[in-house]
Amino acid sequence: MAAVSGKIVQNVLIAQCCQKNRQFSTQSKRDCYAPTGRNLLSSQGGKLACSGISTMQLRNLSKFDRATVYCNAAPSATAPPSLEKVDFIKLQNGSDIRGVAVAGVEGEPVNLTEPVTEAIAAAFAAWLLEKKKPDASSCLRVSIGHDSRISAQKLQDAVSRGLAGAGLDVIQYGLASTPAMFNSTLTESDEFLCPVDGAIMITASHLPYNRNGFKFFTNAGGLGKPDIKDILERAANIYNNFTVEGLIDAEKKLH
């Protein structure tokens, strides 16, 4: 996640993330970190595990090591968040969520902003907590992957804030395939932080470059149309309670 150069990330849990390619039966490992996140909606403490591609280069560290790590990422160029009116239901595309994430195409205003994305992620967290019903001693875990679209990084960061703010642990797999993200809910490996309780793939499939969206998974498979409608309705309510000051503060807490 983007951070000011030299900023310290404390209480870091080093881990490895794993993606499986079912077709070729191969694995790729990445060094990751999991700083303790904030606790806004429950007694669970959300942690964030990132792939280290954009922010850190970590090598030869056990997943049980704890350390103070210095970020080498550049400051975020993202503009201050704004809270324009959004029709969340229009973001539904069957069993997916799709929207315009990049400006520049005439007649296609951006409606998949970072605040909208954060609200959707928080809504998925609430939906997942309701379905899984974890006890007080456990914390649900969600993995995030994305394709190569230019809006992927900012949406991944916003998804991470929404999930961690709801008290869930987050594992960022970075560039990944949709089957790999579903597989992260099935693979049984403590070493690779699997299985996760839910997974989000940031993608818009074949749509133009300015679009992006989300696919959601549990170990039962992809979410259906009624589930997506439920999540978007929850997201609309969450979004309506956002403030610009609160969004800026949330970004600072997870950097």
Ranges assigned E (strand) in the chain = 8-21, 26-35, 48-49, 66-70, 92-93, 96-100, 141-146, 169-175, 198-202, 211-218, 221-222
Cα dist from 186 to 175, 178, 179, 208, whole Å = 19, 13, 11, 31
CA distance 249 to 68: 22
By annotation, the residues acting in catalysis are 205
In terms of residues, how long is the chain?
Answer: 255
Burial of 207 (0-12, 13-18, 19+ CB in 10 A): middle
The C-alpha angle 107, 111, 113, rounded to 5 degrees, equals: 135
Pairing label, strands 26-35, 96-100:
unpaired
Q: Angle at which helices 244-253 and 152-165 pack, to 10 degrees?
A: 90
CA distance 102 to 113: 9
Q: Which two tokens stand for residue 96?
A: 């997916």
* Among the listed residues 72, 78, 59, the one whose alpha carbon sits nearest the alpha carbon of residue 7: 72
